[in-house]
């Protein structure tokens, strides 16, 4: 009997000792990141049958259990992946928002100063100081375009560097998870089937850190290992094997990284949509959803300004009497051939209509018979069997070679607009402030008719007026004669347009718009028989400000966005969109941070170490240990008594 009591006491002593050790382990790891509270699971030892019935044999410790919930852990990881993505996006877009909204570093003040310089020229077109001031304000505007785009490019470079760093971190975590899987499988397959709790905690902490970089899901296997998959289903960790991600230049644009997946002979580029959550998902989302559109929008604004301003400048006349040349310089867009193309086609593009330009990039695919043009901002497609093709204010041409089936090109027409815009003239005298034609009436006219100052359109520079055109009114026929013998004349009377062949007389209609060879005039009043009206080159028109007024009018003209946006409108829209997105991400970041805190607190309340509870449990095991020792002491006393009786 004494022997049985001693055995029972020893099992109780060992159980209490194990409880004390486990509780002490909890207390010592209370501040260890990722540690889950442990507790012993004990059960009654198998009872021994006697004539008096079954008598217990004490207690046994079945296992040391980790207090852990897959459900709560998954909630924390999902919240962590979402929070890291949003924080990454918000941190970068805040920089863009601060840059664009800055009243001194933004574009609005220098754009206003640019047009103020034009207004100064309209006040005195012959003043060289005013003209030089206009060029200076233009330089300031161009430099601001360059400076903002440089900031965007710097942010882009930082994002690309962060993508590479994030990919390296993911690879490190994946290899460490695979190594821990191997250690856990080895530790738990030694015949005891006991969980390697501390190793599992280390693995779960690594998995949580991995979700800060990219959203993953984990599947727990029967051997104790876990398989880890990214959001799109690609395996990142399979048992003791791990995949490798590589950030490499895109085959269509070597300035932008894509992610390549490699594992056990499998090698392919991942789609951007396959990568979500975590810092890497946030970087990818920021680049495609915020940085690309805003840099394209700034580029479109610069190109739209250059094209529309140049078009009007061409319709003016400078101080030397020459028609205006380009005022701004811009670079034509070029389609980037995919590095995997098998054909030798060279595709280029040119700007045809600034008003129709979008802030999108385009993908061009050739299937062997047709070209398909995809506007990447909204997925709109257009198909053509041959080039050139007109699309969104662009003319896309095949400059040389031939495309092969499967060839692909990336067209970025406006991305570099702000970086490459420049000033095309250097001499203030080259500013075309005057109109190239002027009108007049013969001093001998006796009627009350008058002629407008005259204006020109985009077709005028191709056939400028060589000499004076004198129109004579015939009261008997009501006709005007004297138009150039080779010129077709159109007359717009209240919206009704009539065309008259070259050499034909034109009926007089007061207030009608008369056009020929890119020149437009109108006559009003009542002419007398033989009255004459002249249209001639504006020789010596150094004080003429008519084209300067038209240039100044571009400040409020709706020359972008399909006739819906002025330059200022386009910039304000860009600033507003970035501001709204920044505010949205700020609110979402705050909310997601609270969700992460709640999920973490819930998990900690379940799995974390509470020192007060552990102290109480330590006292409980201490008392159990002391009681078990007392039992063993009593068993020893009984045994001594038996020995004494035996003597």
Please state the domain extents for the chain.
Answer: 2-67+608-646, 73-289+565-600, 437-537
Cβ–Cβ contacts within 10 Å for residue 124, how many? 15
Does 51 have pLDDT greater than 80?
A: no
Kindly indicate the confidence band of residue 43, based on its pLDDT and cuts at 50, 70 and 90: confident
pLDDT digits (tens, 9 = 90+) for 359-407: 999 999 999 999 999 999 999 999 999 999 999 999 999 999 999 999 9
* pLDDT of 203 higher than 70: yes
What integer pLDDT is reported at residue 49 of this predicted model? 78
Structure tokens at 415: 């991305």
């330059």: which residue's tokens?
A: 567
Confidence of residue 3 (pLDDT cuts 50, 70, 90): low
Strands (E), 344-488: 346-351, 362-366, 371-375, 380-384, 389-391, 394-400, 408-411, 422-423, 437-441, 450-451, 455-456, 469-474, 479-481
Q: For residues 207 and 211, what is the distance between their CA atoms, to the nearest angstrom?
A: 6
Task: Count CB-CB contacts under 10 A for residue 83.
Answer: 25
Cα angle 624, 628, 629 (rounded to 5 degrees) comes to 120
Q: Is the preceding peptide bond at 310 cis, omega within 30 degrees of 0?
A: no
Distances (CA, A) of 1 to 4, 12, 317, 628, 644: 5, 17, 123, 16, 16
Q: Mean of the pLDDT values across residues 507-524? A: 95
Residue 232 has φ and ψ, to the nearest 5°, of: -85, -5
**Of residues 216, 267, 270, the one with CA closest to residue 238:** 216
- Which class for 549: exposed (0-12), middle (13-18), buried (19 or more C-beta within 10 A)? middle
CA distance 200 to 173: 15
What token pair was written down for 416?
Answer: 């570099």
Q: Is the pLDDT of residue 639 over 80?
A: no
Describe the strand order of the beta sheet including 389-391 as a list of residue ranges: 346-351, 394-400, 389-391
Q: What is the arithmetic mean of pLDDT over 457-477?
A: 93
Cα pseudo-dihedral 66, 69, 70, 72, rounded to 10: -140
Summarize pLDDT for 561-605 with one digit per residue, the tens: 999 999 999 999 999 999 999 999 999 999 999 999 999 999 999
**Cα separation of 331 and 582, whole Å?**
31
The pLDDT value given to residue 191: 60
Q: Give mean pLDDT, residues 290-306.
A: 95
The rounded percent of the chain whose pLDDT value lies above 90 is 77
pLDDT at 133: 96
Alpha helices (H) in 537-566, listed in sequence order: 546-553
What pLDDT does residue 646 have?
A: 60
State phi, psi for 549 to the nearest 5 degrees: -65, -40
Annotate 13-40 with b (16+ C-beta within 10 A) or e (fewer): bbbbeebbebbebbeebeeeebbbbbeb
Q: Nearest Cα to 132, choosing from 371, 548, 430, 556?
A: 430
Tally of residues, the chain: 647
User: Per-residue pLDDT for 1 more than 80?
Assistant: no
Per-chain mean pLDDT for the chain: 92
Mean pLDDT over 203-231 rounds to 92
Mean pLDDT score, 411-435: 95
The pLDDT assigned to 192 comes to 66
- Which of 608 and 105 is assigned the larger pLDDT? 608
Span 344-373, average pLDDT: 94
Closest CA relative to residue 276, chosen from 210, 211, 215:
215
Of 313, 293, 318, the C-alpha closest to 100 is 293
Across the range 441-458, mean pLDDT stands at 94
Q: What is the pLDDT of residues 99-151, one digit of tens each?
A: 888 878 889 999 999 999 999 999 999 999 999 999 999 999 999 999 999 99
CA distance 465 to 435: 12
- 10 Å Cβ neighbour count for 288? 14
Give the per-residue pLDDT at 104: 82
**pLDDT exceeds 90 at position 13:** no
CA 407 to each of CA 251, 257, 268, 336: distance values in angstroms, whole numbers, following the listed order: 12, 20, 18, 11
325's enclosing H/E stretch is none
pLDDT of residue 48: 83
Q: How many CA atoms are closer than 13 Å to the CA of 625, on its beta-carbon side?
A: 13
């Amino acid at each position: 009997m004494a022997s049985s009591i001693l055995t029972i006491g020893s099992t109780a002593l060992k159980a209490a000792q194990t409880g004390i050790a486990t509780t002490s382990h909890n207390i010592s790891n209370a501040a260890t990141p990722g540690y889950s509270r442990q507790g012993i699971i004990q059960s009654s030892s198998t009872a021994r049958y006697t004539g008096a019935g079954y008598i217990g044999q004490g207690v046994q410790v079945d296992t040391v259990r980790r207090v852990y919930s897959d459900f709560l852990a998954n909630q924390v990881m999902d919240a962590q992946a979402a929070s890291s993505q949003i924080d990454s996006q918000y941190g970068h877009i805040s920089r863009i928002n601060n840059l664009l909204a800055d009243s001194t570093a933004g574009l609005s003040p220098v754009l206003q100063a640019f047009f103020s310089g034009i207004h100064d020229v309209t006040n005195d077109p012959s003043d060289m100081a005013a003209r030089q001031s206009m060029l200076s304000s233009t330089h300031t505007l161009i430099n601001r375009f360059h400076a903002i785009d440089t900031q965007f490019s710097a942010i882009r470079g930082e994002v690309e560097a962060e993508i590479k760093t994030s990919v390296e971190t993911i690879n490190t975590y994946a290899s460490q998870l695979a190594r821990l899987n191997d250690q856990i499988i080895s530790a738990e397959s030694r015949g005891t089937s006991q969980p390697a709790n501390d190793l599992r905690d280390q693995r779960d902490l690594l998995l949580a850190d991995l979700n800060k970089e990219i959203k993953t899901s984990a599947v727990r296997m029967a051997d104790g290992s876990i398989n880890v998959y990214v959001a799109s289903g690609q395996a990142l960790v399979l048992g003791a094997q791990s995949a490798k991600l590589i950030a490499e230049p895109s085959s269509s644009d070597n300035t932008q990284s894509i992610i390549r997946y490699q594992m056990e002979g499998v090698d392919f580029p991942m789609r951007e949509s396959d990568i979500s959550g975590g810092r890497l998902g946030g970087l990818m989302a920021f680049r495609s959803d915020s940085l690309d559109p805003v840099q394209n929008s700034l580029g479109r604004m610069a190109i739209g300004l250059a094209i529309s301003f140049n078009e009007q400048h061409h319709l003016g006349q400078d101080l030397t009497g020459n028609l205006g040349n380009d005022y701004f310089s811009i670079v034509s867009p070029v389609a980037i051939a995919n590095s995997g193309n098998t054909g030798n086609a060279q595709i280029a593009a040119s700007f045809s209509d600034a008003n129709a330009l979008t802030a999108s990039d385009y993908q061009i695919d050739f299937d062997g018979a047709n070209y398909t043009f995809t506007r990447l901002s909204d997925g709109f497609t257009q198909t053509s069997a041959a080039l050139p093709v007109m699309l969104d204010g662009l003319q896309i041409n095949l400059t040389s070679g031939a495309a092969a089936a499967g060839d692909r090109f990336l067209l970025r027409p406006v991305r570099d607009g702000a970086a490459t815009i420049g000033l095309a003239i250097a001499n203030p005298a080259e500013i075309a402030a005057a109109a190239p034609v002027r009108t007049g009436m013969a001093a001998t006219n006796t009627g009350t008719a008058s002629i407008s100052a005259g204006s020109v359109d985009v077709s005028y520079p191709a056939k400028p007026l060589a000499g004076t055109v004198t129109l004579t009114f015939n009261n008997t026929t009501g006709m005007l004669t004297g138009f150039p013998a080779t010129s077709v004349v159109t007359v717009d009377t209240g919206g009704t347009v009539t065309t008259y062949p070259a050499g034909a007389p034109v009926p007089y209609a007061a207030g009608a718009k008369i056009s020929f060879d890119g020149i437009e005039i109108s006559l009003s009043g009542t002419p007398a028989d033989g009255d004459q009206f002249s249209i001639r080159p504006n020789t010596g028109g150094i004080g003429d400000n008519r084209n300067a007024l038209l240039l100044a009018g571009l400040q409020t003209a709706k020359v972008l966005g399909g006739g819906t946006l002025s330059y200022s409108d386009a910039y304000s829209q860009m600033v507003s969109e970035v501001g709204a997105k920044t505010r949205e991400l700020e609110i979402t970041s705050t909310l997601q941070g609270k969700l992460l805190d709640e999920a973490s607190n819930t998990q900690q309340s379940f799995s974390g170490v509470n020192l007060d509870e552990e102290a109480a449990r330590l006292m409980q095991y201490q008392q159990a240990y002391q009681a078990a020792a007392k039992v063993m002491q009593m068993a020893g006393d009984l045994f001594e008594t038996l020995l004494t009786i035996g003597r």
